[in-house]
Amino acid sequence: MSINVSGLVDWQRGHIDRRIFWDPAIYEQELERVFARSWLFVAHESQIEEPGAFVTTYMAQDNVIVARASDRSIKVFLNSCPHRGNRVCFADSGQGRQFTCNYHGWAFGLDGALKRMPKMALYKATPGFRMEDWGLKRARVESYKGLVFATFDEEAPSLGDWLGDFRWYLDAVLDVEEGGTEFLPGGATRSVMNCNWKFPADNFVGDIYHALWTHLGGSEPTLGRHGGVIVENERSWQVSVNGHGWEFNDSFLGNAATMGDREMLRYMKSRQEAITARLGEFRAKMWGSVASANIFPNFSFLPGYFTFRTFQPKGPTKTEIHAWTLVPKNMPDDIKDRFRRGSMRTFSPSGLLEMDDGENWEHSTAANAGFVTRNQRLCYAMAPEGELDDDSLPGTVTLGQLSDANQRLFYKKWAEMMNAETWQDIPLEKPAAPAEAAE
């Protein structure tokens, strides 16, 4: 029996029941209805450029291998042997020709197919046994401008429909120049927080509000008043499509990752003209601005810090964070290195700003489970979401004020997926033509 969450999420008023942040039954339903159905980010193509290159990662609690096959296509499959279930690959990344299970020696190709095993003739003698039935379970795979996503749901719409018009905004980080982007080697971390995965996701989808308070203590002494988190509310935007959301400030270039580094700021300024010519003025301002974003459900990034991360659920109150640094491929090496150091100093397990955030998310998670505490709802009621008058930007757009709009729309999508038996019951905003009027 599934749980109907309509009574727990009143997204119009912004009243959210705390139960969704700790209840094991809700969590189980999330694994099934949110994570097993969504397109989940698994890798950047730059991590697996050559045939045989692979990374292992998580799709929620399922460990998967993401590999470049011999025909250069990208394959994603479960990292669990169908013989007795053992993990097949123990490395985070590497290069190989096949994956051989430690336990009894079953060997799988770069596409996950079962190739051979010791005493193969004994299996072949078994009536009805077919090698092709026993490969590593494969997911559907699609990419958008370097970002690779996968889903195990055969019924899910295409990645294009899932991202919808959010792609138009994504181009402001993924398509700023011809050469594309890459994840920096050495700019990646993994860590664990004792929090529900939705707290970091809702923070990234639209909570610039906290930056004015949470990060003030750390950022002012180290970055100075104007080197760090500065938000001019009147230039604050929130955009939301299909539960994905991006908030940004279009009047402040650079971010705390720059730590006020003049070389980085100079580089970012020097790119503005070319990016404007390529993407138009509006999106050129999104690139490198004070901003945060989340692709539903758990893939987040900070465009101005170039930190990209997944918040992998590991239980109702535990989240594993995988973080990378994404930069334009053609960025000068020296500037790349500065961004790597900047994102590590701010958003890594020992990063100044990530520590600020993690403490809040852990305490919010722990407190919500209190027996009496759990009966008071949480308030996501700041300022109504709005549409721009001229309708020139895709999605639901809120301009000019701090707002919980993106967070409410994140929980709206969450509730839709939690309640829906099938994809027919999950509304998707279909992509419209690119909005050139916004340029």
Closer residue to ligand FES in complex, CB, 101/415: 101
Q: What are phi and psi of 51, to 5 degrees?
A: -55, 135
Cβ burial 84-108 (10 Å sphere, 16+ → b, else e): eeeebbeeebeeeeebbbeeeebbb
Q: What are phi and psi of 409, to 5 degrees?
A: -75, -30
90 scored as a contact of ligand FES (CB under 6 A)? no
Cα–Cα distances in Å, from 388 out to 241, 436, 438? 14, 15, 11
Whole-number minimum distance, CB 64 to ligand FES, in Å? 16
> Residue 42: how many CB atoms within 10 A of its CB?
26
Closer residue to ligand FES in complex, CB, 101/229: 101
Number of residues near Fe ion (by CB under 5 A): 1
Q: Judge contact between 247 and 293, C-beta under 8 A.
A: yes
Angle, helix 198-206 to helix 352-368, in steps of 10 degrees = 130
Exposed, middle or buried by CB within 10 Å (0-12, 13-18, 19+), for 306? buried
Q: Which residue is nearest to Fe ion (CB)?
A: 357
Q: Could you say which of 30, 165, 357, 416 contacts Fe ion (CB under 5 A)?
A: 357
Closer residue to ligand FES in complex, CB, 129/423: 129
Closer residue to ligand FES in complex, CB, 83/210: 83
In the region spanning residues 95 to 124, those forming contacts with ligand FES, defined by CB under 6 A, are 101, 103-106
81 scored as a contact of ligand FES (CB under 6 A)? yes
Whole-number minimum distance, CB 91 to ligand FES, in Å? 16
Q: What are phi and psi of 74, to 5 degrees?
A: -100, 130
What does 86 interact with, of ligand FES, Fe ion, none (CB < 5 to 8 A by kind)?
Answer: ligand FES
Length of the chain in terms of residues written: 439
Give the chain's end-to-end CA distance (angstroms, integer).
49
Q: Could you say which of 63, 86, 143, 360 contacts ligand FES (CB under 6 A)?
A: 86
Whole-number minimum distance, CB 54 to ligand FES, in Å? 17
136 scored as a contact of ligand FES (CB under 6 A)? no
Sheet holding 74-78, edge to edge: 74-78, 62-68, 53-59, 93-95
354 scored as a contact of Fe ion (CB under 5 A)? no
Whole-number minimum distance, CB 57 to ligand FES, in Å? 20
- Which residues contact ligand FES by CB under 6 A? 81, 83-84, 86, 101, 103-106
- Which residues contact Fe ion by CB under 5 A? 357
